[in-house]
Chains A and B, each alone.
Chain A
Amino acid sequence: MIEFAEVTKEYGDFRALDRVSLTVPDGGIFGVIGHSGAGKSTLLRLVNQLERPTSGSVRLNGVELTGLSERRLRAHRREIGMVFQQFNLFKSRTVLGNVAYPLKLAGLSRATVRQRALEALEFVGLAEYATRHPEQLSGGQRQRVGIARALATSPKLLLSDEATSALDPETTLEVLDLFRRINAELGVTIVLITHEMDVLRRICDRVAVLDGGRLVETGEAYQVFARPQHPTTASFVHSVLPDRPAGAALERLRGRHTGRLLTVPFTHDGDLGRGLSRLLREHRLDFALVHGGISEVGQLPLGSITLELHGEERDLTAFLAVWEGTEVMAA
């Protein structure tokens, strides 16, 4: 478990993190999202103390990290894996040499180093590339080497610094699948930072949203997606999930559809439209689907559909009187 308490980090006059308090439980995949400069990179580096906070406390499994000496920190860092956006592989070493590096640091015997490095490469599916050099690999393969290197010492915690941001969409999915396997099969807690909502949507069970160095929202991923409380969160959610049409999209919609528009949210804990369907039938109303869609968050459905209602004005009024919990936009 990682506990941040009132953590502030300043670089000169710039406050990168502002009194952030946050708890990351063991066993899950925790995602931190924010725009560039929101402080997420700093937050991640506090966990292995590559950055020291200006004030506040960072605890890992109950151990206060902020006061630890450089020597103690080194031992502590060996228990934490880290992967990077630009992979940060050693160009002067082979794939095997890269993965072996942290094992050598741990002072293991040559035979053990080799065996465990090969095991880690096996896990990411790159054992046959052991003697290649990083520049001979594709971006996705390089990141998998980076992941193997981070996992070689069997850490219980993996930090991911925008690990998929330099990859194409298809490769991103492969790496995210790998993260899921690492979490499920090896029981490794993963903390990742990203500016891509799609990454959170696919693999995170808990999320935190940073904005201008402040923690603006945190919670269970589905809840945060389904009911964003902060405008920043909402704008991130809208980047991946269709929502109530607004702005220019709404204008265009209005140009095409002159009827009553109704936006129905779909959440896995709701009835996914069955009640709506019955009510519409009872009021002899017809509808056209004009906007929206349903996606998956943490393997559960989430989204919204906007309908244009057709029928007698009297029936419409009666329907709207009994239909609760959804947004109706003025016609």
Chain B
Amino acid sequence: MKVDWNVFWPKLADATGQTVYMVLVTLLLSSALGLVLGLLLYATRKGNLLQNRAVFSLLNLLINLVRPVPFIIAIVAMAPLTRAVTGSMIGTEAAIFPMVVVATFGVARIVENNLVAVEPGVIEAARAMGAGPVRIILTVLVPEALGPLILGLTFILVALIDFSAVAGTVGGGGVGNLAMTYGYLRFDTSVMVVTVAVLIGLVQIAQLTGNLLARKVLRR
């Protein structure tokens, strides 16, 4: 059975809206949480501003435990927790929760990696001027690493579009859901092509925006 395009286009528009919503909410939440975690991870590392072995080891272990789990497994494994937090196991909100959890740890690692790349001399200069650790983190480290951080977040954003499609397959709504129900389950190649095109378009827009922002910050 072929799709009725008059019905399908509005559905696709809705689904695209859902995907954008899921991805942006997740990006916002996971960036905020991931930034805090990443800063903490960086600052507590040996020899850094707030050196603390216990905190560093715990965070590091946690990140290393969460990151290798394939997202589709993570969704299923987290389902009870998702229901406890969002009250449901299906739908857009229910998809956002595991996405935020997984993305937060990804962001944390990206933040840490980029902060490590900031020249130690710049931090030493700020210390020599009498700046305290929190001040240095907020007024030196983050601004100095901002360009690469934006590129890192863009990477996460693109991954989130991918995640949202995966979430769609387990009832999360969005373009991924549409691709599965109309394209895959009904063997409708044209629907598949259209949904894939939408996903590619979203990724392009995300990457382009990220690149522009990073270029503006890096002034090149």
User: B125 to A133, Cβ gap below 8 A?
Assistant: no
Residues of A within 8 A of B (CB-CB), count: 27
Please tell me if the beta carbons of A92 and B143 are within 8 angstroms of each other in the complex: yes
Closest to A70 in B: B132
- Which among B130, B144, B217, B219 is the interface contact of A105 at CB below 8 angstroms? B130
Asked whether A91 lies within 8 Å of B144 as measured between CB atoms, the reply is: yes
Residue on A nearest B146 in the bound complex, by CB: A92
- Tell me the complex Cα distance, A149–B131, Å: 14
- What per-residue 1/0 map shows which CB atoms of A62-82 lie under 8 Å from chain B? 000000001101111110101
CA distance A214 to B158 in the complex (A): 57
Give the Cβ gap from B138 to chain A, nearest Cβ, in Å: 12
- A78: B residues at CB distance < 8 A: 129-130
A77 pairs with B219, CB closer than 8 A: no
Q: Mark B145-179, 1 if CB is under 8 A from A, else 0.
A: 01000000000000000000000000000000000
Q: Mark A152-173, 1 if CB is under 8 A from B, else 0.
A: 0000000100000000000000
User: B128 near A82 (CB under 8 angstroms)?
Assistant: yes
B132 and A48 contact, CB distance less than 8 A: no
- Please report the C-alpha to C-alpha distance between residue A75 and residue B140 in the assembled complex, in whole angstroms: 19
Give per-residue flags for A307-320: 1 if the beta carbon is below 8 A from chain B beta carbons, else 0. Answer: 00000000000000
| Size class of the contact patch on chain B | 20 to 34
Is there contact, CB below 8 Å, between B130 and A75? yes
Q: CB of A260 within 8 A of chain B?
A: no
Q: Does A102 contact B (CB under 8 A)?
A: yes
Question: Quick one: CB contact mask for B117-143 with A, threshold 8 Å, 1 for yes?
Answer: 001011011111111100100011001
Q: What B residues does A82 contact at CB under 8 A?
A: 125, 128-129
For the complex, what is the distance from the CA of A84 to the CA of B143, rounded to whole Å?
21
A146 to B132, CA, bound (A): 20
Q: Which residues of B contact A149 (CB under 8 A)?
A: 129
A266 at the B interface (CB under 8 A): no
Q: For residues 97 through 151 of chain A, which have their beta carbon under 8 Å from a beta carbon of chain B?
A: 101-102, 105, 133, 135, 149
Q: Which residues of the partner chain B approach A71 to less than 8 Å between Cβ atoms? A: 132
CA distance A70 to B50 in the complex (A): 12
Contacts of B217 in A (CB 8 A): 92
Contact of B127 among A77, A91, A135 (CB under 8 A): A77
In the assembled complex, A93 has its CB within 8 A of some CB on chain B: yes
B126–A101 touching, CB < 8 Å? yes
Contact partner of A88 among B119, B143, B146, B219, CB < 8 A?
B119
A289 interface residue (CB < 8 Å to B): no
CB of A80 within 8 A of CB of B131, answer no
Q: Which residue of B lies closest to A75 (CB)?
A: B130
Interface centre among B119, B122, B126, B146 (most CB of A within 10 A): B122
6 tightest A-B contacts by CB?
A92-B143, A78-B130, A88-B125, A77-B130, A88-B121, A82-B128
A selection of 22 A-B contacts at a CB cut-off of 8 Å is A50-B124, A50-B128, A70-B132, A71-B132, A77-B129, A78-B130, A84-B121, A84-B124, A86-B119, A88-B121, A88-B124, A88-B125, A89-B125, A90-B125, A91-B144, A92-B144, A92-B146, A92-B217, A101-B126, A101-B129, A105-B129, A105-B130
